[in-house]
Structure 1
Amino acid sequence: MASTSRTPTRRGRGRGKGRGRGGRGDGSSSLPPPPSTLSLIIEEFFIVVYEDPLVKKALPKKFADYLDGQEPAKVYLRAADCGPRLWTVEVLFDGQGRMYLDKGWENFAIAHGVDFGCFVHFKYEGDDVLTVKVFDGTMCRKYYYSDDDDTDDESDDDVKPCIHPL
């Protein structure tokens, strides 16, 4: 049996200018743009609590960059599976691209058992709302339920926390 050797060819090359999807000369390309030119979409991120859980918390710089030009003065935290309650938390920007959860974070952290070694997962829902899941030091998720007597007209100074099931 006779063997024939073939020289590998690439599609789109040597077929003339502007012809086919990979043709040269027309400036078009079938390849996606490089990652640096794609718009950055940050929907989920986490922080690990290594220092005092009750002081302001830095959020990832990429998330702050994502909000560039739309920096909110406040965000609203919603504990996953803890009812519709939104916790108002003031946001600080340091002028160097860092974003921090500030006033209001302490109340949220106490009510949801955020402590040293916790892993706190955030999901950006839009409209300055972040849904939060808290995992303890064993990497197991903490679950909560809300008190049925909780009312919407309650002030942030009179915090009624979610209660951990027994």
Structure 2
Amino acid sequence: MASTSRTPTGRGRGRGGRGGGSSSLPPPPSTLTLIIEEFFIVVYEDPLVKKYALTKKIAYYLDGQEPAKVYLRAADYGPRLWTVEVLFDGPGRMYLDKGWENFAIAHGVDLGCFVHFKYEGDDVLTVKVFDGTMCRKYYSDDEDTDDESDDNVKPCIHPL
């Protein structure tokens, strides 16, 4: 009879064992690459100022790339992109500049709003705007229609 190699527990080193195979555990945190895909800002100051500061982490994430522009797309709104110039004035200091004011007006960004950004790559950020009650704002494109009805506005139901 052929002899097989056994571990001290009596189990062989075949498939599914705890032998020298690859682990399904994630790598330790020190080996993970920092990837910033989503972030949000709380609007504490007038959103209609010419330049508006973003978080330091996204500025550090884009360090070296420093795009001259980003393209904002309202989530669930279609393919329209809003071109917004970007300023960097030091490490961790990134601002949305020319074009931000137009986007903020069109999408109801106001004091107390939370603005969620998702980096899609190629300098495109998908944006969701939440009001002070933490309800998402929905909007319609008024450029194509003169109808001022609220048919495209979804109500927010906030439990008390």
Residues 69, 135 of structure 1: CA spacing in aligned structure 2 closer, same or farther, 3 A cutoff? same
TM-score by length of 2: 0.69
SS of residue matched to 2:115 = strand
Deviations 1:69-115 (A, max 9, x none): 11100000000122211000000111122111111000000000000
Contact 2:130 2:136 (8 Å CA) reproduced: yes
Q: Does 1:135 align with 2:130?
A: yes
Question: Percentage identity across aligned positions?
Answer: 93
Residues 165, 33 of structure 1: CA spacing in aligned structure 2 closer, same or farther, 3 A cutoff? closer
**C-alpha separation in 1, matches of 2:5 and 2:69:** 68
Give the deviation of 1:48 after TM superposition. Answer: 0.2
Deviations 1:102-154 (A, max 9, x none): 11000000000000000000000000000000000111000x45438649999
Residues 138, 159 of structure 1: CA spacing in aligned structure 2 closer, same or farther, 3 A cutoff? closer
Contact 1:120 1:134 (8 Å CA) reproduced: yes
TM-score by length of 1: 0.67
Give the deviation of 1:30 after TM superposition. Answer: 10
Q: Which runs of 5+ in 2 are unaligned?
A: none
Contact 2:87 2:96 (8 Å CA) reproduced: yes
**C-alpha separation in 2, matches of 1:157 and 1:94:** 43
Q: Does 1:36 align with 2:2?
A: no
**C-alpha separation in 1, matches of 2:87 and 2:75:** 24
The equivalent position to 1:69 in structure 2, one of 59, 64, 84, is 64
Deviations 1:27-47 (A, max 9, x none): 999986653442111110000
**C-alpha separation in 1, matches of 2:90 and 2:79:** 33
- How many residues are treated as equivalent by the alignment? 159
Residues 82, 152 of structure 1: CA spacing in aligned structure 2 closer, same or farther, 3 A cutoff? farther
**C-alpha separation in 2, matches of 1:159 and 1:89:** 25
Residues 45, 5 of structure 1: CA spacing in aligned structure 2 closer, same or farther, 3 A cutoff? same
Contact 1:44 1:122 (8 Å CA) reproduced: yes
RMSD over equivalenced CA pairs, Å = 8.7
Q: Does 1:95 align with 2:90?
A: yes
Q: Which runs of 5+ in 1 are unaligned?
A: 10-15
SS of residue matched to 1:36 = helix
